[in-house]
Amino acid sequence: MSSSVLQSQSGDNRLSPDNAVLLMIDHQAGLCQLVRDFDVDVFKNNVLALADIGKLFKLPVILTTSFEKGPNGPLVPELKAMFPDAPYIPRPGQINAWDNPDFVAAVRATGRKKLIMAGVVTDVCVAFPAVSAMAEDFEVYVVVDASGTFNPVVRDAALQRMVAAGAIPINWFAVACEIQRDWRNDAEGLANLLAKHLPHYSNLMQSYNQQGPAK
């Protein structure tokens, strides 16, 4: 079965390279200092893993920041470097990204209804636009490990709110695998991404490479 058939079977409602858009919301140098529900290095790895998924599957990516001239700070430089041509909306003051007409216009311009969202902080910068977008019939997938906030209690309450409104919580690894569907759709690309961001998977790949493929 060809990859195109695998990605577009009739009645398929899963994430695919053709139906999803990646929204990276307020991953700013200042705001990231507030993230305490993940170890700082783990969180950064998760954010960059999600960004790499966007690149691997050639998803439309939209970047936005909130009041970056103030203490929230600029977008983390790695994201700007990874997506130099992506729509970039520096919101002048709106806390809820969905209140910014340029951001909403950029989302609508993709023609896609499945929104993969991640951001800082989870309970505000993700939850607010997630609830707003779902009220306008978008489907929202909240990437829980690429979104961060003050502590697990706050995170869990935010996720409960979003799930009650219809959001789908997911982690970056599951996003990658759901879009990939089948190892025959560029196994090397996915394997390299996983090895880059998961040390244990890197060890698995090293062991496989040393042994060689099974005969």
> Rounded to an integer, what distance in angstroms lies between the CA atom of residue 49 and that of residue 41?
12
63-87 burial: b if 16+ Cβ within 10 Å, else e: bbbbbbeeebbebbeebeebbeebb
Q: Give me the catalytic one of 25, 61, 62, 125.
A: 125
Contacts of 72 (CB under 8 A, 6+ apart): 26, 28, 30, 31, 65, 66
Can 177 be counted among the known catalytic residues?
no
50 phi and psi angles, rounded to 5 deg:
-65, -40
Residue-wise burial string across 145-181, b where 16 or more C-beta atoms lie within 10 A, e elsewhere: bbbbbeeeebbeebbeebeeeebebbbbbbbbeebbb
Q: Report the alpha-carbon distance of residue 59 to residue 16 in Å, rounded.
A: 9
d(C-alpha 213, C-alpha 163), whole Å: 42
Instruction: Please give the positions annotated as active site.
Output: 125
